[in-house]
């Protein structure tokens, strides 16, 4: 059963799957690559203490692609999200 937010509140019709359209991702993406973000961090005077890169979960293929995260440049295609711990200057 689809969730209530998957239905149009005005018509009651089921909405199309938002995860099948890449346009639905744009409100949630900042458009920065990992290296661009870390460059902004350095320019702001902060230091990266820790970075965790997390792959996609759920399917067997997603679990297999977690190993690809470590690859330079290409690895970013397999990252779902990053967790950073930053330090500001004393």
> For the chain, what are the domain ranges?
4-87
Closest listed residue to residue 53, CA positions, set 72, 35, 66? 66
Structure confidence at residue 25 (pLDDT): 62
The pTM for the full model equals 0.60
Mean pLDDT of the chain: 81
- Mean pLDDT to the nearest integer, 11-34: 73
Q: Which two tokens stand for residue 89?
A: 């200057």
Q: By three-state DSSP, how is residue 83 classified?
A: strand
pLDDT digits (tens, 9 = 90+) for 53-70: 888 776 677 777 777 887
């Amino acid at each position: 059963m689809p969730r209530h937010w998957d239905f149009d509140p005005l018509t009651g019709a089921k909405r199309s799957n938002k995860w099948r359209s890449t346009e639905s991702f744009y409100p949630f993406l900042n458009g920065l690559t990992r290296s661009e973000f870390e460059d902004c961090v350095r320019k702001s005077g902060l230091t990266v203490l820790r970075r965790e890169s997390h792959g996609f979960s759920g399917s067997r293929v997603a679990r297999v692609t977690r190993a690809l995260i470590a690859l330079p440049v290409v690895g970013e295609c397999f990252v779902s999200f990053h967790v950073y711990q930053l330090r500001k200057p004393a």
